[in-house]
Structure 1
Amino acid sequence: AILRDNAELITLKEATTILKNNSVKSVVSSKDFTYLQTDKDVYKIASSQVTPNMFVDYEVKVKSSSSIIVYILFFVLFAGLGTLMFRWLQKNKIFNVEKAGDTKFRSSLEHSQPIESIKSDVTFSDIGGISDVKIELEEIIDFMKKPKRYKSFGARMPRGVLLVGPPGVGKTMIAKAVANAAGVPFFYQSGASFVQIYVGMGAKRVHELFQAAKNNSPSIIFIDEIDAVGKKRDGQRSDERESTLNQLLTEMDGFENSSGVIVIAATNKIDVLDSALLRAGRFDRRVFVELPTNKERASILSKYLDKVPHDLDVNSIANMTVGFNGASLATLVNEASLLAIRQHDFQVTIEHFHQVKDKVMFGKKKLQILSQEQKRYRITYQAAKVICATYFDLPFEKLLLSNEKLTPSTDEPLIKHELESRVKMLLAGIVACNIKYNEHASSAKGDLDEAKEIVDKMIKDYGMGSSLIPTDNEKEILMKKLYDETRNLLESLQDVMKYVENVLNERESITKADVKKQLDEIL
């Protein structure tokens, strides 16, 4: 009772009455109060009001404050020992918090931390090849610098900007450059950080983000990979992701004043986003950031090569990197620099780029150990591919004997004869081995699968068959036609085949320029 001290405070008169009624079972005295315990209740009276004569018929127990302190010290000591034991067990992996399913608790603690802005040190001059995008965003930068000028015309700041483009094209860097140019606080969050296990935590996180941005307005919120939280709602259920999306829509919709805050979001899957998120008044502007063109690749490469010792023609590297995004170009330059260091060269050369290009584009694979017979088949297979690729002027600069692929796949709009040229290149190795050995190896599977996929799209999706609506056996007819045309081409170029095979056998690599020189002598 003393520890909880939930006793009812009474007067001296009331205490005297209770004592006279003989209903008191025990008396406990402390420094401040004297406690009277009956069958039903506990009462207390200030110790300064009582006298010893009042309790002549009772045994009075004295409760000193020191005993309470002992209880408190014991509790603190026990808690401290428990904490030390817990940390020792966790350190020695006897008990792992996350493995025990406490990730949720740790995650909720992390997200209880206040959201703070970061300072962007990325400028538009650091990003090459985005002149069109920069023009689109300059108005927003000017708006944030001079809001009064626009408000005087009755113009309002765009609520949101959606950056759309494939991975690696620099969407995050662009958002940081906008924040840097505008000189405003930059709040970064990924869409995945809103997807919480606990119901309501994602929505709470969204509210905290916008609140922090409003408190520091004008400011920029950047949500990377917004498709993680902004996917279309099916209307059949209301899960945590949908409640988070609803909160995001509410924050952007102006139910609360969000003046001075611009939301920039990035996605490479605009088709999966909810229509409510895309309507005007939320994301007012959409900026499409595409893969860099040849000129833009040269601009990006120039940025990355500034601090690299070299004597290179940037345009030649730009020509050999068709299909590369900004991130891939950065990796390419870095890999070429590392190779030059490993080989103890004084500067990076075009040969270094040739050697690391396929590693960046397709990934490093463990080289297969080929028998002499397998190597002969491989040489013939690759020789035919490089001859066809050069003959049809497909984008590549050099072929290595160990290459799985010669040129990257592309989704760019292609004309029928361009698609047919690619299929012929993919079939060339099989055709050459069948001409020379009357059989081919299983390693042709990757090329054959891609050739089938292209032919299937040509007939079913692109209407490139004998009619716009495909008929039976149309794919088989087209594949046989391209196979026969490839066979006729390679049979007419046997001298070039022998030359390329000899080079691959000796050096295990050959350049497009070398093959083109041989073709020009015959054709």
Structure 2
Amino acid sequence: MLDSKKNRIILIASAAIIIILVAFAVLRDTSQEASLQQVKSLIAEQKIEHIVQSDGYFYIKTPTGLYRIALTQVSPELLESYAVEVDKESSYLVYIVFVLIVLGLLSYAGRYWMKQQHGEEGEAMPFASLQNKDESSQVITPVESDVTFDDIGGIADVKQELQEIIEFLRNPSRFKSFGARMPRGVLLVGPPGVGKTMIAKAVAAEAGVPFYYQSAASFVQIYVGMGAKRVHELFSAAKNNSPSIIFIDEIDAVGKERDGNRSDEREATLNQLLTEMDGFEDSSGVIVVAATNKIDVLDAALLRAGRFDRRIFVELPTPVERKAIINTYLSKVPHSLNVDEIVQMSVGFNGASLAALVNEAALMALREHEMQVKMDHFYAVKDKVAYGKKKLSILSKQQKQFRARYLAGKAALAYAYGLPFEKVMLSSETIKPQIDAPMIQSEIEAHIKVLLGGMAACDIHFNEHASNVQNDLKQAKKMALEMVDLYGMGNGVVASEQEDVAILDSLYQDAKSRLSQFEPALISIEEVLMRKESITKDQIGELMADVL
């Protein structure tokens, strides 16, 4: 913006200087003042070519120059042998018209130059017009896909589903000759981070066809009609380069169910998308792949036959798939790790989280100048990847003591009840043992006791607890309510009033009573946390051996 303003100022200044120079050259009087004796000499020598009377002067044109002499100095008889031309109108009018023409030409040249350099920025166009021009002039080009199925671990069932799509894109005539029709649209459904975009790219790379990527949110413009236009341009580009793949990420941003009460830009864009998919011919060679994690909010018209015919659910990876994914990311990382141990500690991780876990562990190993990535590095960065790391520097000594006691109480109960966890870190108050549904009543009660264990431990030691119990207490209340309302685990099949409160109070007293027996171990666990800011499950087991 600053460069544009500077260029405009330079252009205007240059034009003004040129106009001044031209006007000076044209308007200035170049004639020489002549005396009466000089005029008589010119007449005698017959050197006068032309005489013009204008503005109180005789202008005498000779081969050697132009001279002027005042009318009052010359008698009429002296010039009677010459045809004197009288200039009745001022010549300045002609000069002014000339200057205006020059000014207009310079203005036009300047405007043309600004159009070429700044896309009509030199014109006083409204901002919205500039935006529309920029948006509409975008050229849609395919994205180079360098991802193959070999780069994606696990998802064997998804790969099998998509293999037919790849074969169709490679050899559509084979399917056509057999009378088979491939789906026009494939909808990938799954939680964030499971690799839906990578899967679509892998399909394009395996089939060797152009890959057109577009986020659905980019279709929804604030200018009427622009979203629909971009949809049309996207499909036109894909058809012109068929066979090809169109991938629409987060399609729920534009494909939400229509309520029929309004007609906004989003609905116009959705209508255009539906129209384009209806316009596909079986031989077009274009397949639309879309991704969403909210299939329940999509408009029914998108999901009907002839549009997104095939739905593929991409779930969180199983242990076998996690192992394959981790091996893929570890292939370029120096290590001598037991991958099964990483698999066990990464329950609930998606593909993106596993990639981040391996990367963060490798970065930590580099920071510590290690030759290989070790298991300790994975334990150290796990919470950072899963929950985000909290800075301990903002905690006072008293706050750190409360947190250490809080974590010691939860960790001791989790170990005593045999709930799975790997490590406890002072940088995170979260201890989330794996919950495998369905659970029996005693397992649910054990989880609730662990959630209440931190509060109980602080109450035993400090006779008070801190506000950090909020999240754990909220989760404990939820689980107790589900026990009596959903699972029929109260005094009767149908829950009675405040029965969940009674369960919580009872379980809290049980947790407090159990932790009172663990006091020596709690002190030891707390000391390790204060000193090293972390403690493993095995270390907790050693400290609790005498109290269990």
The TM-score by the shorter chain falls in which range? 0.7 to 0.9
Structure 2: runs of 5+ lacking an equivalent = 1-92
Give me the TM-score of the superposition, normalised by structure 2: 0.75
Q: Compare 150-159 and 492-501 and name the one that shifted more.
A: 492-501
- Checking the alignment, whether the CA contact within 8 Å between 1:433 and 1:440 is kept in structure 2 is yes
Q: How far 1:393 moved relative to its partner?
A: 3.9
Aligned to 1:205: 230
Match of 2:196 among 146, 171, 181: 171
1:338 is aligned, of 349, 352, 363, to 363
Code of the aligned partner of 1:76: Y
1:127 pairs with 2:159: no
Give the drift of 1:461: 4.7
Evaluate the alpha carbon distance shift between residue 268 and residue 75 of structure 1 in structure 2; reply closer, same or farther with a 3 A threshold: same
Deviations 1:458-482 (A, max 9, x none): 4445554445544310220221232
Task: Return 5+ residue gaps in structure 1 as ranges.
Answer: 1-60, 91-96
SS at match of 1:222: strand
Instruction: Compare 197-206 and 463-472 and name the one that shifted more.
Output: 463-472
* CA–CA distance in structure 1, aligned partners of residues 217 and 448 of structure 2: 39
**Secondary structure of 2:371's match?**
coil
Q: Which amino acid aligns with 1:234?
A: D
Structure 2: how far apart are the matches of 1:467 and 1:254?
60
Secondary structure of residue in 2 paired with 1:515: helix
Q: Which residue of 2 aligns with 1:19?
A: none
The one of 94, 97, 107 equivalent to 1:75 is 107
2:218 aligned partner, one-letter code: S
Q: How much does 1:206 deviate?
A: 1.1
Question: Which of 360, 379, 388 pairs up with 1:363?
Answer: 388
Aligned to 1:456, the other structure's residue is in SS state helix
**How far apart are the structure 2 equivalents of 1:468 and 1:404?**
35
2:407 equivalent to 1:382? yes
Q: For residue 113 of structure 1, what is the aligned residue in structure 2?
A: 138
1:291 deviation in Å?
1.0
Distance verdict in 2 for CA 1:341–1:466, change over 3 Å: same
Contact residue 252 and residue 258 of structure 1 kept, 8 A: no
SS at match of 1:221: strand
Distance 1:473 1:217, change over 3 A: same
Counterpart of 1:486 in structure 2: which amino acid?
A
Change in 2 beyond 3 A, CA 1:502/1:67: closer
| 8 Å CA contact retained: 2:243, 2:286 | yes
- Decide which of 255, 279, 284 is 2:309's aligned counterpart: 284
**Residues 37-92 of structure 1: per-residue CA shift (max 9 Å, x gap):** xxxxxxxxxxxxxxxxxxxxxxxx999x99897355322354379789999x99xx
Residue in 2 that maps onto 1:354? 379
Structure-2 change in CA distance of 1:167 and 1:395 (3 Å) = farther
- Asked if residue 182 in structure 1 is aligned to residue 207 in structure 2, the reply is yes
| Cα distance change of structure 1 residues 197 and 447 upon mapping to structure 2, 3 Å threshold | same
- For 2:183, the equivalent position in structure 1 comes to 158
Counterparts in 2 of 1:325 and 1:101: CA distance versus 1, 3 Å:
farther
The yes-or-no answer on 1:451 pairing with 2:476 is: yes
Structure 1 residues 256-275: aligned runs within 5 Å: 259-275=284-300
Instruction: Please tell me whether the aligned partners of residues 221 and 262 of structure 1 are also in contact (alpha carbons under 8 angstroms).
Output: yes
Q: Give me the whole-angstrom Cα distance separating, in 1, the residues matched to 2:117 and 2:175.
A: 62
Aligned partners of 1:394 and 1:72: how far apart in 2? 85
What letter corresponds to residue 317 of structure 2 in structure 1?
P
1:233 is displaced (CA, Å) by 0.6
One-letter code of the match for 2:182? M
CA deviation after TM superposition for structure 1 residue 369, in Å: 4.4
Does the Cα contact within 8 Å between 2:421 and 2:434 map onto a contact in 1?
no
Q: 1:177 and 1:81 mapped to 2: Cα distance?
A: 46
Distance 1:141 1:287 in 2: 15
Structure 1 136/421 Cα, relative in aligned 2: closer, same or farther at 3 Å?
farther
Moved more, 278-287 or 404-413: 404-413
Counterparts of 2:283 and 2:99, CA distance in 1: 57
**Residue 160 of structure 1: how far off its partner (Å):** 0.9
Is the 2:187–2:289 contact (alpha carbons within 8 Å) kept by the matching residues of 1?
yes
Q: Is the 8 A contact 1:213 1:220 kept in 2?
A: yes
Please say if 1:233 is aligned against 2:258. yes
Deviates more, 1:370-379 or 1:128-137: 370-379
Q: Does the 8 A contact of 1:320 with 1:395 survive in 2? A: no
Match of 1:195 among 211, 215, 220: 220
Question: Amino acid of the residue matched to residue 311 of structure 1?
Answer: S
Segment of structure 1 superposing worse, 390-399 or 475-484: 390-399
Q: How far apart in 1 are the matches of 2:459 and 2:392?
A: 24
5 Å matches for 1:21-60? none
Distance 2:278 2:437 in 1: 36
Aligned mates of 2:116, 2:173 — CA distance in 1? 58
Match of 1:433 among 439, 442, 458: 458
For residues 325-375 of structure 1, the C-alpha deviation after alignment (integer angstroms, 9 at most, x for no partner) is 111111111111111122222221111111111111111222254444444
**Structure 1 residue aligned with 2:67:** none
DSSP 3-state at the match of 1:364: coil
Residue aligning to 2:432: 407
Q: In 2, Cα distance between the equivalents of 1:413 and 1:181? A: 40
- Range moving further from structure 2, 492-501 or 459-468: 459-468
